[in-house]
């Protein structure tokens, strides 16, 4: 009898979990791979690429200066203020300051970099989201802002891209 009760409990729990997960996915809003957003602290609009391969979002930042830092990214910089300049696709710039939340190594196809992470407010369609974002020189990149899975987590999914037939 205890086995039957345990099996029934597991069955009900599985059904509830499946229903809940399915409902959560159904509520996701599907977006194009590129959207326009505003970074609240800077008052700048950015053309953002939605990047499902990136865990954390990344923004084009220059002239990074850690107040009281050693000049090289280090774990003891966490909690310090960092000053930086954001530059959007139109070349508009704003100098900002923020608290360093994390210093993390970022793996890319050809190298590894250590980057500062701060929280920025991303405004999209009337909603504001506090998003952990790494500060990176993206001047040579086509996209000055990548919104990673930490932003998509707020109820968004990326729709399929239609391929052009040649």
From the list 88, 90, 64, the residue with the least C-alpha distance to 77 is 64
On whether both 25 and 38 belong to a single domain, the answer is no
**48 compared with 69, residue with greater pLDDT:** 48
On whether both 114 and 148 belong to a single domain, the answer is yes
Between the CA of residue 99 and those of 76, 90, 102, 140, 158, what are the distances in Å?
A: 13, 26, 9, 26, 30
**Residue range 76-128, pLDDT digits in tens:** 999 999 999 999 999 999 999 999 999 988 766 666 788 999 999 999 999 99
Decide if 166 is inside a domain.
Answer: no
Decide if 130 is inside a domain.
Answer: yes
CB 159 within 8 A of CB 33: yes
- What pLDDT sits at residue 130? 97
On whether both 59 and 3 belong to a single domain, the answer is no
On whether both 69 and 12 belong to a single domain, the answer is no
> Residue 23 pLDDT more than 90?
no
Dihedral sign (CA 8, 14, 17, 21): negative
> Residue 19 pLDDT more than 70?
no
DSSP annotation string for the chain: -HHHHHHHHHHHHHHHHHHHHHHHHHTPEEE-SEEEEEETTTTEEEEEEE-TT-SSEEEEEEEEEETT--SS--GGGTTSEEEEEEE-TT--EEEEEEE--EEEEEE-SS-EEEEEEEEEEEEETTEEEEEEEEEE--TTSS-SEEE-HHHHTTTEEEPPPPPPP-
- CATH number of the domain where residue 103 is located: 2.40.70.10
On whether both 36 and 22 belong to a single domain, the answer is no
Work out the pLDDT band at 38, boundaries 50, 70, 90.
Answer: very high
> Residue 163 pLDDT more than 80?
no
Q: What is the model's pTM? A: 0.78
Domain range for residue 20? 1-29
On whether both 54 and 84 belong to a single domain, the answer is yes
Decide if 165 is inside a domain.
Answer: no
Q: In total, how many domains does the chain have?
A: 2
On whether both 123 and 85 belong to a single domain, the answer is yes
């Amino acid at each position: 009898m205890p086995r039957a009760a345990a099996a029934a409990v597991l069955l009900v729990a599985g059904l509830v979990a499946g229903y809940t997960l399915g409902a959560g996915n159904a509520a996701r809003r599907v977006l194009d791979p590129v959207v326009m957003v505003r970074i609240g602290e800077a008052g700048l609009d950015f053309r953002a690429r939605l990047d499902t391969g990136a865990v954390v979002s990344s923004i084009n930042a220059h002239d990074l200066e850690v107040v009281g830092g050693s000049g090289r990214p280090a774990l003891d910089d966490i909690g310090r203020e960092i000053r930086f300049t954001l530059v959007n696709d139109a070349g508009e710039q704003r100098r900002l300051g923020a608290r360093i939340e994390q210093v993390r190594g970022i793996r890319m196809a050809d190298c590894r970099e250590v980057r500062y992470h701060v929280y920025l407010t991303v405004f999209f369609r009337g909603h504001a989201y506090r998003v952990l974002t790494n500060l990176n020189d993206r001047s040579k990149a086509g996209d000055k802002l990548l919104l990673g899975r930490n932003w998509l987590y707020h109820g968004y999914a990326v729709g399929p891209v239609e391929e052009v037939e040649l």
